[in-house]
Amino acid sequence: MSKPPRPERPVAKHAAATPRERVLAAWRGVDVSALESAGKNHGRSLAKLLPEVMAGLGLDRRRAEAEILKVWNHLVDPRVVAHAQPTGLHKGTLFVSVDSSTWLDEIVRYRRKEILDRLQHSFGKETVKRISFRVG
């Protein structure tokens, strides 16, 4: 006695990508390629992931800010360093506190461009776009 032929099972309309997946989909009667791809390893290497994480946390900006604070004393004239210190970096603007209005006037009039040029040369024009001096 021979068995009656099995009725064909309906196959999903989305064809599987590989021959193996097409055969399995036809045998099972469904297209499970989406489920099979869900089980695959979608991990990314740390080298690709770390820059995204750093950017998301703003660590690049904080690192640049810390570097500016460290090298300020070496990049800028010692007489200016004695009266002005950077306090922060926000959206490309470096904020610098000056101890007196006399020194504020001196720095803004005669030394702002020189200081900005040195910082941009060392850190890039995108990191330090402007400098804001204030008494405080």
pLDDT of residue 35: 67
User: Within a domain: residue 100?
Assistant: yes
User: Within a domain: residue 105?
Assistant: yes
**CB distance 135 to 108 below 8 Å:** no
User: Within a domain: residue 24?
Assistant: no
89: exposed, middle or buried (C-beta count within 10 Å: 0-12, 13-18, 19+)?
A: buried
CATH number of the domain enclosing 109 = 3.30.300.180
Residue range 19-32: mean pLDDT, rounded = 76
User: Within a domain: residue 41?
Assistant: no
Long-range contacts of 113-118 (CB under 8 A, 24+ apart): 115/75, 115/76, 115/80, 118/75, 118/76
Beta-bridge partner residues of 130: 93
Checking if the pLDDT of 59 tops 80, the result is no
User: Within a domain: residue 92?
Assistant: yes
Average pLDDT score over the chain: 82
User: Within a domain: residue 12?
Assistant: no
Q: Which residues contact 54 (CB under 8 A, 6 or more apart)?
A: 60
Sheet of 130-135, strand order: 84-90, 93-98, 130-135
Residue range 4-13: mean pLDDT, rounded = 54
**CB distance 135 to 83 below 8 Å:** no
Residue range 97-104: mean pLDDT, rounded = 95
User: Within a domain: residue 78?
Assistant: yes
User: Within a domain: residue 66?
Assistant: yes
Domain tally for the chain? Answer: 1
Checking if the pLDDT of 36 tops 70, the result is no
Domain extent at residue 106: 58-135
Report the SS3 class of residue 99.
coil
Q: What is the pTM of this model?
A: 0.58
